[in-house]
Amino acid sequence: MRRNTSITLLSAGHACVDIYQGAVAALLPFFVSERGYSYAVASGVVLAASVLSSVAQPLFGVLTDRWPMPWLLPVSTLLGGAGVALSGVSGSYPLTLVFMALSGMGVAAYHPESARVARIASRGSHNAMGVFATGGNIGFGLAPLMVGVVVGAGGLRWTPALVIPALAGTALCLPVLRALRADQALGTAASVPAGSDDVASFVRLSLAVVFRSIAFVGLSTFISLYAEQRTGGGTAAGTAALTVLYLGGAVGSVLGGSLAGRWDRVTVSRWSYVLAVVAVAGVVWVPGPALYLFVALTSVGLYVPFSLQVTLGQDYLPSRIGTASGVTLGLTVSIGGLAGPALGSLADATSLQTALAPLVLMPVLSRLLFGTLREPGGTRRHDTTPGTATGHADGATAVPTAPGHRSPKP
Taking only the tens place, the pLDDT of each residue in 161-171 is 999 999 999 99
Cβ within 8 Å of residue 90, ≥6 positions away = 96
Please, what is the average pLDDT of the chain? 79
pLDDT at 60: 79
pLDDT band at 59 (very low <50, low <70, confident <90, very high): confident
3-state DSSP assignment of residue 402: coil
CA 288/CA 353 separation, integer angstroms? 13
Domain spans of the chain, in order of start: 3-370
pLDDT at 330: 64
Tell me the C-alpha to C-alpha distance, in Å, between residue 44 and each of 41, 224, 342, 388.
5, 16, 10, 46
Window from 99-113, 249-263, 287-301 with minimum mean pLDDT:
249-263
Q: At residue 401, does pLDDT exceed 50?
A: no
Q: At residue 92, does pLDDT exceed 50?
A: yes
CA 104/CA 346 separation, integer angstroms? 25
State which CATH number among 1.20.1250.20, 3.40.109.10, 3.30.420.40, 3.30.43.10 fits the domain covering 3-370: 1.20.1250.20
User: Can you list the pairs that 5-9 forms with residues at least 24 positions away whose Cβ atoms lie under 8 Å?
Assistant: 6/121, 6/176, 6/179, 6/180, 7/118, 7/121, 7/122, 7/128, 7/131, 7/132, 8/131, 9/172, 9/173, 9/175, 9/176
For residues 353-379, give the mean pLDDT. Answer: 88
pLDDT band at 370 (very low <50, low <70, confident <90, very high): very high
Tally Cβ neighbours within 10 Å of residue 308: 29
H-type alpha helices, 261-327: 265-285, 290-316, 321-325
Q: Is residue 404 within 8 Å of residue 189, measured between CB atoms? A: no
Q: At residue 58, does pLDDT exceed 80?
A: no
**Reported pTM:** 0.68
